[in-house]
Amino acid sequence: MASCLAVRHAIAFVPVALLPVFFLSSCPSLPDPFITIGTGTPHTYKAISFQVGGVYVRADNYAQTQDTIRLPGTMANRIHIIATSGYAANVPNGVVAGHIVILYGDGTSEKLDLIVGENTAEWAYDRKELQCCIRHARVSPAYSWRTDLDSESHYWGHSYYVSIDLEPKPLDSLQLLLDAGASSDQPACPPPPCPQTDPERYSILISAITLETSD
């Protein structure tokens, strides 16, 4: 059992592309079913282990509208994700900002929509200067940090949680896609002193991915 546990801890620090499938599916009797991707800041949300900052998957409408992280040959029955949105303060509830697509090795896929005010929101929602521009509901954060970026005072930045149930077959990759609706025809912020953000900009960042290998 000791060597089996050591394998579980070790794989959190090894790139997924280098992991044999049997490492990810070994030791099913252990109480911790979570395999974190990459190395970042350890964090637990809803009893799920994450490494925040262990991955950087970004989609936006000014550099790249999609991004991909490879998960070749890995097996899991659920994927847990921490992500957030930027330049989103002026976007109202219900707008589909993007999509997370899980591709299997056999070419099939699963898709989750990221919807403003439901499962994603502006990361700087609590920045006092931005309150005049916020047009969507607060979403319960999964991870928060203190910052003073673009502000005269410190505030909490937030990232949000989503998950996708998976079929019991090998994975290929995760794709993050920006939806055109995130930046088209969105209202601008009120005039100064409200901060003037570009209403046509939007970005989504995934900062943590955890695979769950058993219920």
Please give the Cα distance from 14 to 206 (Å, whole number). Answer: 19
pLDDT in tens, 11-41: 343 444 444 443 444 444 555 799 999 999 9
Count, in order, helices (H) and strands (E) of the chain. Answer: 2, 12
Determine the pLDDT at residue 15. 45
Please identify every stretch of the chain with a pLDDT value under 70, giving residue numbers as ranges: 1-31, 215
pLDDT in tens, 137-161: 999 999 999 999 999 999 999 999 9
Location of structure tokens 């047009």: 135
Determine the pLDDT at residue 3. 41
Sequence ranges of the domains in the chain: 2-212
Let me know: does 172 contact 72? Beta carbons within 8 Å: yes
3-state SS assignment for residue 11: helix
Determine the pLDDT at residue 182. 86
DSSP β-bridge partners for residue 178: 98
